[in-house]
Structure 1
Amino acid sequence: MKRIAIYCGSASPADPRYIELAEDVGAALAQRGIGVVYGGGRLGLMGAVAKGAKQEGGEVIGVIPDALIKSEVANPECDELIAVSGMHERKQKFTDLSDGFVTLPGGVGTMDELWEAMSWAQLGYHSDPVGLLNAFGFYDDLIAFNAKMAEVGFVRPVHSNILIAAETLPDLLDKMESYQPHTPIFQMKAEDL
């Protein structure tokens, strides 16, 4: 993986572990020679990821909607800052520029990005690994919910391993490196659906 899209919150939670985690993730990716593609913001976990990567000499590409540039939240420290018209174009650009996705703790926007990356993988719009960093047990309930969807039958068995979760970044990256793409819906016959 040469570049990874990082999905995370633009908020700064009161618990400092979240900002530290984001900065550590950016730094660790840079140390491995993996570029960061992220939301282009300078605030919250987003800004911390970029800061950590830049401090270690890593590549940082920001993809940010025009409206957020006008709100002065764009990070001028990015190696490249790509302005897009909206969120749909932003997510497409993340997919085009990256070889995988890692989701850190975040809110509604982060969940939107994660679920779309999973949905696009399931359908066949991309075949890249979709990782979830479950630091501090933040995503325990989401992982259980994903398993429940598969148990009930809303996620096909062939797609039940799209979401790759781990509690530490090294473990997550190892799992992502060994990810074997599944058969996407676009390649399945009606009787398999």
Structure 2
Amino acid sequence: MSVFQPGSTGKQATVSARISPAGGLDILSRNEVVRLRDASGSGLHALLRRCALAVLTSGNISDDPRSMFEQYPDFDIQVLQQDRGIKIELSHAPAQAFVDGQIIRGINELLVAVVRDIVYVSTQLEQGGFDLDDSVGITHAVFEILRNARILKAQVDPNLVVCWGGHSISREEYDYTKQVGYQLGLRSLDICTGCGPGAMKGPMKGATIAHAKQRRRNNRYIGITEPGIIAAESPNPIVNNLVIMPDIEKRLEAFVRVGHGIIVFPGGVGTAEEILYLLGILLHPDNAGIPFPLIFTGPSQSAAYFEQIDRFLRLTLGDSVAQHYQIIVDNPAAVAHAMVKGIDKVRNHRLDNKDAFFFNWALSIPHQFQVPFRPTHENMRGLAIHRDRPRHELAADLRRAFSGIVAGNVKEEGVRAIEKHGPFEIDGDADVMTSLDELLKAFVVQHRMKLPGGTAYVPCYKVITQG
């Protein structure tokens, strides 16, 4: 790697460098390189620049996707075609990504993952390699993206635990996620999260210590994200397998297809969206009898949080929804033990049904859970949140409501829409909307929807309660 020069952008130290990519990406076609350099509306350069800067600022915590470019307005990345492969040229890149003039190896590998996924997905879409018109085609697209990223590992017993939870959690909650990760690691379980900070980092951090104690190698710390999220939640430095899915729906499907069980820590609207997505799928009649361990857990201080989540789920989806999850408070070892037992049932079920360990083909995911939801004001107002609908369909629209709030909070497109047109309006049955409003207000009171740096949270939504 040849370093050009250190510099500064405002108060932020920067470095310009030309690096050799690490982690397996050796060559690209000339057409792929041209598209990555194309800054027009049809090109990929803007997407590459946004995702690359997120990787280079790994460890930063910000809810504002625009703040990174305000700190590094002159940052640029170019992929250069050379006779013996490719080089990545960085201009005014964050200095924190370098040590003594050398880019940190893990950040280099994550940069390669960014280039790999952006090129692969765009090429497949351009060539019609993905059939996104039906449910089967979308699932195959998710499979192909994960396979291309080398996330899928054959000949490995089920051992991948997906951990969901908020990036803005208390210190006690964060420490608890590390304790749970430690117990999972002692039992030789790998970790998959949304790759950001908070509850997405803690389990990985705890597991690394336990894996080291067990002298376990080739550990997997998988981070699954998408372009709208990665700009607001930079990958944490423990992630060693990063994959960028095209949108939030394919990201969620990737979690449930590769994971053998899911643990949910305290969080905000994004975590509620994930819970409703999974429960909506598990409530579908086609998935009856398919084991999928789901555990809600947190320290004793979080007991009230899960009680409120439980009440909301029972009110909206019926008491029987609680059959699909366990709530374990303040007991990391019990969480890990329950997950091991649940994964053992998954293993036996897949053996009996000749299903793959590395991808949950048997799980039926309805098309309505797969189609990208655009959180416009019209679409948010059009959600049918009524209890007389089939439970999995109601869960799908509740998930979309939370997805819209996430977009209004942290995604650039949603933030701009709120600034221009005011808060989203969410309509539905009176008792459901009252419960939803109480849940969202509780998130605000508990600082689960408060921006860092002392900025008070201003709701991007307005709940409309009708009798």
**What TM-score do the two structures reach when normalised by structure 2?**
0.34
Amino acid at match of 1:146: L
Amino acid at match of 2:238: E
Amino acid at match of 1:24: Q
Amino acid at match of 2:325: L
Change (3 A) 1:88 1:142: same
Q: Secondary structure at the match of 2:323?
A: coil
User: What does residue 52 of structure 1 align with?
Assistant: 206
User: What does residue 436 of structure 2 align with?
Assistant: none
Q: How does 1:54-133 map to 2 (within 5 A)?
A: 54-57=208-211, 58-71=219-232, 73-123=234-284, 124=286, 127-133=291-297
Counterpart Cα distance in 2 of 1:20 and 1:29 = 14
Aligned length: 177
Change (3 A) 1:141 1:2: same
Change (3 A) 1:107 1:70: closer
User: What does residue 310 of structure 2 align with?
Assistant: 143
CA contact under 8 A between 2:169 and 2:266: conserved in structure 1? no
Deviation at 1:156, TM superposition (A): 7.0
Alignment of 1:5 with 2:162, yes or no, is yes
Amino acid at match of 1:99: H
Counterpart Cα distance in 1 of 2:311 and 2:233 = 38
Deviation at 1:92, TM superposition (A): 0.6
Amino acid at match of 1:32: R
- Structure with larger Rg: 2
CA contact under 8 A between 2:173 and 2:298: conserved in structure 1? no
Counterpart Cα distance in 1 of 2:207 and 2:251 = 20
Counterpart Cα distance in 1 of 2:266 and 2:324 = 18
Q: Secondary structure at the match of 2:267?
A: coil
Amino acid at match of 1:141: Q
Amino acid at match of 2:176: L
Amino acid at match of 1:3: L
CA contact under 8 A between 1:68 and 1:74: conserved in structure 2? no
Change (3 A) 1:130 1:56: same
Please identify runs of 4+ aligned residues in structure 1 that moved more than 3 A: 67-72, 124-127, 144-149, 172-176, 178-181
Counterpart Cα distance in 1 of 2:273 and 2:282 = 14
Deviation at 1:100, TM superposition (A): 0.8
User: What does residue 189 of structure 1 align with?
Assistant: none
Structure 1 unaligned residues grouped into runs of 5+: 187-192
Deviation at 1:185, TM superposition (A): 10
Change (3 A) 1:172 1:37: same
User: What does residue 31 of structure 1 align with?
Assistant: 186
Structure 2 unaligned residues grouped into runs of 5+: 1-157, 212-218, 347-362, 366-390, 392-467
Superimposed CA distance per residue, residues 74-97 of structure 1 (whole angstroms, 9 cap, x where no aligned partner): 124312111112211111111111
Q: Secondary structure at the match of 1:116?
A: helix
CA contact under 8 A between 1:10 and 1:46: conserved in structure 2? yes
Deviation at 1:178, TM superposition (A): 5.1
CA contact under 8 A between 1:134 and 1:140: conserved in structure 2? no
User: What does residue 143 of structure 2 align with?
Assistant: none
Amino acid at match of 1:34: L
Deviation at 1:130, TM superposition (A): 1.5
**What TM-score do the two structures reach when normalised by structure 1?**
0.77
When structure 1 is superposed on structure 2, of 106-115 and 19-28 the one drifting more is 19-28
- Backbone CA RMSD of aligned residues: 2.9
Q: Secondary structure at the match of 2:333?
A: helix
Amino acid at match of 2:180: V
CA contact under 8 A between 2:180 and 2:335: conserved in structure 1? no
CA contact under 8 A between 1:37 and 1:97: conserved in structure 2? no
Deviation at 1:165, TM superposition (A): 1.3
Superimposed CA distance per residue, residues 120-155 of structure 1 (whole angstroms, 9 cap, x where no aligned partner): 111145631111114321312222343445xxxx43
Counterpart Cα distance in 1 of 2:298 and 2:202 = 18
CA contact under 8 A between 1:30 and 1:59: conserved in structure 2? no
